[in-house]
Amino acid sequence: MRRARAGVKVRVLLDGFGVWLGGHFDLDSLRAAGVEVVKFVPALKSAVRGLNLRNHRKMLLVDGERFWAGGRNLAGEYFEGDPAGGRPAWHDLSFDLRGPLAVRAQQRFDLDWNYASHLPPPRFAGVSDEAGADASHLAQLIPSGPDQVDDTVHALLVSGAFMARERILAVTPYFVPDATLLMALTLAARRSAPLP
């Protein structure tokens, strides 16, 4: 709110279902301060019944140059905890990146924003894919969700499990593998086990 009042364009895209589950938020104060707030598919208003149209992306984008994301929710308990209740802040993984990934993340946000705002998809100036092509870049933005034709993340997890030679390290609060991923992980574990 402070930055919006200072003239910075601030947009907040909220998961409509998460807001509905999470209780009442003072969105009017945000809007009154000049913050643009949009709910991504408000609860009970999904055009496609039974389809999980939640937006669970957790991103903070600054000036199209910096990209902060990870598992951390933008909530007090993740940063401050509850000092009165004696609870420390939650531990979670986050990362902060600059460069082409920040541009890609900004484009993803703009696509999601326009969808939630019932606007046509934005047109983007070209972003060089060469930035992610060489081995010096250790990250790639891979969107996933109900708006994607293929489940690229699932395919990467399965193929990664089949290609692993030494170890697989998974960090996730949600471990709900389907039969294919479970088989790929099981076979990877058996591959590394010594023969009798």
Residue 131: alpha-carbon gap to chain centroid: 21
Q: How confident is the model at residue 132 (pLDDT cuts 50, 70, 90)?
A: very low
* Angle of CA points 171, 137, 159, to nearest 5°: 50
> What per-residue confidence (pLDDT) applies to 133?
47
pLDDT at 108 over 80: yes
Least confident of 44-53, 78-87, 144-153, 171-180: 44-53
Q: What percent of the chain has pLDDT over 90?
A: 33
Q: Which two tokens stand for residue 67?
A: 């990209």
**pTM for the complete prediction?**
0.75
Average pLDDT over residues 7-32: 83
Q: Where are the domains of the chain?
A: 150-196
Least confident of 3-12, 78-87, 108-117: 78-87
pLDDT at 183 over 90: yes
